[in-house]
Amino acid sequence: MANAQQPISALQRYEFYGQAQGTGYTISYYHKSPIITQVSIDSIFEVIDKSMSLYRWDSKISSFNLSSTNQIILDPHMQKVLKKSFQVHKESKGLFDITVKPLVSIWGFGPEKTVGIPDSSSILQTLQLVGMNKLKMSGHKLIKMTPGMQIDLNGIAQGYTVDVLADFLKSKAVKSFIVEVGGEIRAEGYKPGKESYKVLLQRPEQAQGVKESIIELKNMAITTSGSYEKFRTVKNYRFSHHMDPTTGYPLKSSIISVSVISKKAMDADAYDNVFMAMKPQDAIAFANKKNKMDIYLIYLDEGVVKEAYSKGFKKYLISN
């Protein structure tokens, strides 16, 4: 009788990489045979983009964002992401807000091209359309309580995509893999020889004095967000794509970047936006209290670049 357990030496490494969701992706996994196809990977991206891509006119989210639309029937993907969005919005006391799409647009970070910067009256007018209290989920329906409002799920959908890809690999009995989409990463299992997956922490240009750190990922996800990712400069005024839903202006934060480790990439992706909006000490305190995720911050303190960790982060560090 043949041994049902596959010897680890017989496992082969397979890889997919390409462009999707306006960024690059890489999927590596170990298995005895090439059980995953490019068609299946492309199909997952296609289904999620058809649901939540702002760059597709035929997506579910684009349909909701039309001024003529009052409500839509949610598909399963968008429903899961919205449920998590409402949860994070509540837990973050409004810092995470998917209704900032009109603000993102007028500040020049949406699909629409904007050249200058908005005046104060435009910002005040746009703020009337912002606030998740103006949205309602009722069963499979998403309803606008204020006409003209729009949503943007870019701050959470990419992490969700990573989780969907990870769940797909697991459904095919793949026990060792790493999935990366636009810098959002999730790893499961070990490489042959019981070697863990390792990730080099993203380090922005402003933090050249900070030593590189390597993270060991064991059945966890990590995402990184920073003011350096997307920014515009108009008349010497530099501002990032992170919007303050209370003021209508880009966030002013001393945090340069934040990396979040959590079980799910969707959670890490959503909360890295939240931590960017906080003061460093408040972000660390929040992460420590929540006790379901760990964070690493690079921030400016009176012009000096500094680092900070939540209490559980060090266990992931291999070198620093």
Do 182 and 21 form a contact (C-beta atoms < 8 A)?
Answer: yes
What pLDDT, on the 0 to 100 scale, is given for residue 73?
98
Q: Which of 23, 319, 9, 309 is nearest to 154 (CA)?
A: 23
Could you tell me if residue 150 is inside a domain?
no
Could you tell me if residue 289 is inside a domain?
yes
> Which comes out higher in pLDDT, residue 302 or 176?
176
Q: In angstroms, what is the C-alpha Rg of the chain? A: 20
Rounded to the nearest 10°, the torsion over CA 207, 213, 214, 215 is: -90
Tell me: pLDDT of 250 over 80: yes
List 297's β-bridge partners, or say none: 258, 308
Q: Which of 144, 179, 196 is the last residue in one of the domains?
A: 144
CA distances from 151 to 143, 155, 164, 248, 275 (A): 11, 11, 21, 15, 20
**Tell me: the pLDDT tens digits for 181-232?**
999 999 999 999 999 999 998 666 666 666 778 999 999 999 998 755 555 6
Q: Are residues 285 and 167 in the same domain?
A: yes
Q: Are residues 302 and 185 in the same domain?
A: yes
CA distances from 238 to 230, 241, 255, 275 (A): 10, 10, 15, 20
Q: Are residues 215 and 246 in the same domain?
A: yes
Q: How far apart are CA 216 and CA 197, in angstroms?
A: 6
Could you tell me if residue 267 is inside a domain?
yes
Could you tell me if residue 309 is inside a domain?
yes
Instruction: Tell me the CATH number at 106.
Output: 1.10.3980.10
Could you tell me if residue 56 is inside a domain?
no
Instruction: Tell me the CATH number at 211.
Output: 3.10.520.10
What is the pLDDT of the chain when averaged over all its residues?
89
Q: Which of 184, 127, 187, 178 is nearest to 156 (CA)?
A: 184
What pLDDT, on the 0 to 100 scale, is given for residue 48?
97
Could you tell me if residue 13 is inside a domain?
no
Query: Domain residues for 134?
Result: 61-144
Q: Which of 95, 111, 144 is the last residue in one of the domains?
A: 144
Q: Are residues 220 and 118 in the same domain?
A: no
Residue range 5-17: average pLDDT? 76
Number of domains in the chain: 2
Q: Are residues 127 and 190 in the same domain?
A: no
Q: Are residues 111 and 252 in the same domain?
A: no
Is 0.85 topped by the overall pTM?
yes
Q: Are residues 283 and 175 in the same domain?
A: yes
User: Could you count the other beta carbons within 10 Å of the beta carbon of residue 192?
Assistant: 14
